[in-house]
Amino acid sequence: MKHAIAVGVASITVVATSPLAHAEPIAPQADTPCPDPVAGALTQLPNLTTLLQCRAEPGVGYRWQILDDPYPHSDRWLTYGPTLTLHGEGQRNRELDSGDWVGDPQEPGARCTAQQQAIADAGGLTPPQVANGEPGQPLTLRLPPLLFTIELAGYCLWEKG
């Protein structure tokens, strides 16, 4: 009887811990460490107003620091789950440039996704173009010269090629 109870407890433990293996990444916080691979990258906090940049601090390593630039622009962006909407060359004060970009998952099962719209010939916007990467695989996409907005999602480092 004791053996059967121990087996039941073991299987309950496995079921209870398995969802934790797929938990969403935690949003970066100011003055906390950031991993070397994202050095120089920008990210946005869920409040949609605070930007952070992963910068080297002498003697400390890489840390997330608040970016006080009213017109942020980068060729490296980190998304950690929530959608990040950025402006392209089709708007004033673009946050990223057109061209070839790669979304690199930061965990084996992470999936990078992008939805972009550009300015159409008639002055309106093109229909949304959606790209979904496979879990754990890089997503390559081309941002058009008149990119209006792009929505990036997943736990991914996005870099201009």
Scored b (16 or more CB within 10 A) or e, 113-146 reads bbbbbbbeeeeeeeeeeebebeeeeebebebbeb
Residue 121's pLDDT is 83
Q: Is 158:77 a contact under the CB 8 Å cutoff? A: yes
> Is pLDDT at 56 greater than 80 in this prediction?
yes
Find tokens 């300015």 and name the residue.
Answer: 119
CB atoms within 10 A of CB 62: 18
> Is pLDDT at 130 greater than 60 in this prediction?
yes
- Model confidence at 41, pLDDT cuts 50, 70, 90, reads very high
The ranges assigned to domains in the chain are: 24-160
Q: What is the pTM for the complete model shown? A: 0.82
> Is pLDDT at 150 greater than 50 in this prediction?
yes
**Cα separation, 66 vs 88, whole angstroms:** 22
Lowest-pLDDT choice from 1-5, 26-30, 50-54, 107-111: 1-5
